[in-house]
Structure 1
Amino acid sequence: MDKIDAMQAFAAVVQEGSFSKAAERLKLSPQLVSKYVSQLESHLQTRLLNRTTRRVSTTEAGLAYFERCQQVLIDIEEMENSLGALHQQASGTLRISAPMSFGMHHLSKALVDFQKQCPLVEVDLQLTDRKVDIVEDGIDIALRIGELKSSSLIAKKIAPIRLVICASPDYLKSNGTPNNPRDLTDHCFLRYSYTDSSTSFSQFNLKASEIKFKSHFVANNGDVLVNAAVQGGGITIQPTFITGKPISKGKLTTILEEYEPAPLGLYVVYAHRHHLASKVRCFIDFISDYFGSPPYWDQY
């Protein structure tokens, strides 16, 4: 078994959602793609895909392997592309989409530093929390925060995103400090509009109906919610790339730390291309290690 061929076949099936579409993309027969995946499962001694007559889906092990597998294939492709284009200087307009708050806090310096390395690249940054269609909207690179999901796009994880539960000291003094999730009842919740209560508190193993919040303040921007928390508006769950400075200055206090949500990921996402433009490849290489491990905003 050629392990690289098998990994490419498996990744294509996950990205395309079927053996036939994967085979079409790879210019192979569906039978050969199925054979590669079966050989990979035998080699790993675990089932990676659930197959039915109508659909193909990843198992838990398959999703975990897909993330690592895709990263390996990305590294191989980037290495080959860089060797084949050492003589090409990155140029042109690079269109980047990124989340609003993350872009405002952490992309200005990063993009200035990138242009110092690639002075012929013009940057067109578009900040939105809306999930853009990369191909349809003409985006070269999207920075996205969340959990990796199967898709036809390439997603490379570049940093962990830690979430904390926090409120201002004045709010906690007036309303009490929750010691367990059930103590959240009758507190004010500052909620990000792209999530709901059941999603936000699923890590507590509680149904949304079991937490009776006194009030909700909903906004589609994390900075607004963090500022509201600093002003004593209630409890919020927000990433440390926004809350880090207020926490370090004593304006916010973390609570329920033993119930802290699982970290999300910051991904650089781009359309599947065998021959990346130099400007795209250079930005991926630049941003991959830029924020550090752990990222600098978690070193408060």
Structure 2
Amino acid sequence: MSKLKQMTVFMYVVKLGSITKAAEQLDVSKSVVSQHLKQLESELAVTLLKRTTRKQSLTSAGEHFYQQCCTMHELAEQAWQDAQKLQLTPQGLIKITAPHALMDHLVLPALHEVFHVYPDVELELISHDGRSDLMQEGIDIAIRVGESKMSNLKQKRIGDFRDVLCGSVETINNHQTDIAALKLADNTNTNTDAGKQVNSLAKIPYVANHWQEKSIHHRFSSKKSRSNKLSTPRFELNFKTHHKANTLPTCLSMLEQGFGVGIIPDFIFAKHNNALAELLPEHQLDKVNVYALHAYQAAVPISVTMAIEAIAKRLG
């Protein structure tokens, strides 16, 4: 570090023509400038500058060294400006990971909306339902469902969604009797009857996403009571996985074709509600929180900030 400082001091002395002017430019004393020059020539064992009380001139070695010092200074200034530019205009590579359910329907549209006018931005997207190591894999942003316990990461809640338990219109119509009976039991608080209908509905074949277990537990509350959470009646539907798909599109297709019932996020269900119907349209599952995580501790790149804000807006 001291070498670079000495080279900078030497460059300013030559460029400005005197130790006094260099000291003023660098906002240090003349003695400090003189000391740096002395140490520089001593360490190099070369005379760079011939000086008298009124005049200074470069030696041949000094002329060559001065040109290299100017090049070093220009590179340093350019590096500084380029780094600052990254905080003003998004550019470069952004590596983002998100669950399969969120990538195509949420993250991709948000990123296109915000970055399609910035051609210098490069996206590397990874659909992954697991928990990637952001530092080891060089990931800038991870979009995750549920809060992370990683203390070395910055995380921000950016919104929420609800899963919808649904199936094909034909599948749901085939169970309208049980659904109507459950609705009646719910309205009359007949717990025994409600329990019978819940057990009946739970016999419908269940189409599970690959991350779900063999035993499926869904807890519902009435949409009518959502304004008063303390008094919201709740019940559970417990299923056994009958079919399983390793991707969300496959799971969605199986639901549409009548293989059974399963859950998909509400923002995806809204796009397929002509082919799909809710099993329990007057009840709802709990909200699922979505978080954005990154490993930046100080200044966050503007591209990362813009991406997170765009995804949050889309989710909202």
Same fold (TM over 0.5): yes
Change (3 A) 1:257 1:272: farther
Aligned to 1:238: 264
Alpha-carbon separation, structure 1, partners of 2:252 and 2:245: 10
State the alpha-carbon separation in 2 of the partners of residues 234 and 87 from structure 1: 50
The one of 212, 217, 225 aligned to 2:251: 225
Query: Which residue identity does 1:95 align to in structure 2?
Result: K
Bigger mean CA offset, 160-169 vs 173-182: 173-182
**Is residue 164–residue 257 contact of structure 1 (8 Å, CA) maintained in 2?**
no
Give the unaligned 5+ runs of structure 1.
1-83, 294-300
Alignment counterpart, residue 302 of structure 2, candidates 278, 286, 292: 278
Shift of 1:182: 2.3
Counterpart of 1:150 in structure 2 is 149
- Pairwise CA distance, 1:205: 5.3
Per-residue Cα deviation, 1:192-223 (whole angstroms, up to 9, x for no partner): 22122555325565585xx5x5x611123222
Paired residue type of 2:243: F
Does the alignment pair 1:200 with 2:217?
A: yes
1:207 and 1:239, CA in 2 relative to 1: closer, same or farther beyond 3 A?
closer
Cα distance in 1 for residues equivalent to 2:287 and 2:249: 19
Distance in 1 (alpha carbons) for counterparts of 2:287 and 2:108: 24
Q: CA deviation at 1:254?
A: 0.8
Gap runs ≥5 in structure 2? 1-83, 183-196, 221-233
TM-score scaled by length of structure 1 = 0.59
Whether the 8 Å contact between 2:111 and 2:311 is mirrored in structure 1 is no
Which string of whole-angstrom CA distances, capped at 9 and with x for unpartnered residues, describes residues 216-271 of structure 1?
A: 11123222222111111111122112221221x2x111122444210112222112
Residue of structure 2 equivalent to 1:185 = 202
Larger Rg: 2
In the superposition, relative to structure 1, how do residues 218 and 124 fare at CA in structure 2: closer, same or farther (>3 Å)? same
Q: Does 1:269 align with 2:293?
A: yes
Q: Which residue pairs with 1:64 in the alignment?
A: none
Q: CA separation in 2, counterparts of 1:167 and 1:138? A: 39
Paired residue type of 2:290: L
Q: Which moved more, 1:255-264 or 1:233-242?
A: 255-264
Q: Secondary structure at the match of 1:162?
A: strand
Contact kept? 1:198, 1:207, Cα under 8 Å? no
1:110-140: CA deviation from partner (whole Å, max 9, x where unpaired): 2222223543221111122222111111100
Higher strand share: 2
What is the CA–CA distance in structure 2 between the aligned matches of 1:286 and 1:222, rounded to whole Å? 23
Equivalent pairs counted in the alignment come to 202
Instruction: Specify whether residues 129 and 113 from structure 1 end up closer, same or farther in structure 2 by C-alpha distance, changes over 3 A only.
Output: same
In 1, Cα distance between equivalents of 2:279 and 2:142: 32
Percent of pairs identical after alignment? 24
Deviations 1:255-295 (A, max 9, x none): 22444210112222112512222322332344332x163xx
The more displaced of 229-238 and 97-106 is 97-106
Letter in 2 for 1:193: H
Letter in 2 for 1:194: W
Q: TM-score, normalised by structure 2?
A: 0.56
